[in-house]
Amino acid sequence: MHGHAHGHHHHGGGDFNRAFAIGTALNLGFVAVEAFYGWKVDSLALLADAAHNLSDVAGLVLAWAGAWAGRIRPDARHTYGWQRASILAAFANAVLLLVAMGGLGLEAVQRLAQPQPMHGWTVIWVAAAGIVVNTATALLFLRGQDDLNVRGAFLHMAADALVSLAVVVAGALYLWQGWGWIDPVMSLIVAVVIVWGTLGLLRESIHLLFDGVPRQVDAQAVRAYLRALPGVTQVHDLHIWAMSTTQVALSARLVAPSGHPGDAVLREASEMLRDQHRIEHATLQFSQTPIGPSCEPPRP
């Protein structure tokens, strides 16, 4: 005897179209201003920060595209739609940022050999404007931390605010002490900090691309809950994976020797998986006898 429950519950993530549009426009404008003044006063810190901001504009566009693709309706050829595009966008975002920081690090090392004079006040005022722009953009994505794609955008903007703060510090130290090497050194420090923060985004996006269990889901707790359902004696073929940066799916085969427990149990299980374990799509199959080897871990 077999029974199937397939629950679909869509929530979370929110619509960040307006946030992406405002953030992209603000950062494009600031990149133009920062690149112009960086070129005018020959400041590596400003030019590097402009390049970094440009990469983050590309990252915002990627994240925006991923969020948009995730809302495309499923069809006969793509029965889940294009929801995984948001995970791919988060991965591309991380790679793009790492490449940009690699270029920044290389340029900073080369500039260390030949320190250049800085226009301290110009650097300070332009970077201070960057703090305002990047902080405002980061706040647009503050409420979307459950979405890896939106979290990537938030982390980039928050990191940019820190980068701009570091540039302000570099300009102030140059005015105070006249250290010509402070510009590339500060750029190197910033690059290292951002790379360190980006590695987590890269690891998590790769994990989800290869159908890893999302970090917010406790697989053992889910297995224990399914095993405790009325009449269930074994849990087979339990799979938990991310359909997108906000949607989690589950499938499992439950052995219930006494037969199907009824639709009420299925509804309750679906709601519990959604509310307690944040699993949006649950497919449960019941059988009275085991089919193949059990996937349950050995009991002590």
Mean predicted lDDT score pLDDT of the chain: 81
Q: Does residue 143 register a pLDDT over 80?
A: no
Amino acid at 169: V
The answer on pLDDT for 300 being more than 50 is: no
- Residue-wise pLDDT for 66-100, tens only, equals 778 777 888 888 877 888 888 888 888 788 878 87
| Percentage, residues of the chain above pLDDT 90 | 14
Q: Which residues of 182-202 are buried (b: 16+ CB within 10 A; e: fewer)?
A: bbbbbbbebbeebbebbeebb
How far apart (Å, rounded) are the C-alpha atoms in residues 152 and 141?
Answer: 9
pLDDT at 216 over 90: no
Confidence of residue 9 (pLDDT cuts 50, 70, 90): very low
pLDDT of residue 97: 79
Rounded distance between C-alpha atoms, residue 206 and residue 210, angstroms: 6
Are 250 and 226 in contact, with CB atoms under 8 Å apart? no
Residue 222 has pLDDT above 90, yes or no: yes
Q: Stretch 149-169: mean pLDDT, rounded?
A: 79
Give the C-alpha distances (Å, rounded to integers) separating 180 from 115, 123, 124, 143, 172. 5, 13, 15, 41, 12
Helices (H), the chain: 17-41, 44-69, 85-113, 120-140, 148-177, 182-209, 219-227, 263-277
Q: Residues 151, 33: contact at Cβ < 8 Å?
A: no
Query: Residue 130: what pLDDT?
Result: 84
Quote the CA–CA distance of 93 and 88 in Å, as a whole number.
8
What does the pLDDT read at residue 299? 47
pLDDT at 59 over 80: no
CB 277 within 8 A of CB 217: yes
Q: How much is the average pLDDT of 223-234?
A: 91
| Better-scored residue on pLDDT, 292 or 94 | 94
Q: What is the pLDDT of residues 106-123, one digit of tens each?
A: 878 887 877 766 677 887
User: Chain centroid to CA 274: how far?
Assistant: 21
Per-residue pLDDT of 175-200, as tens digits, reads: 888 777 887 888 788 788 778 878 88
**CA distance linking residue 10 with residue 281, whole number of Å:** 9
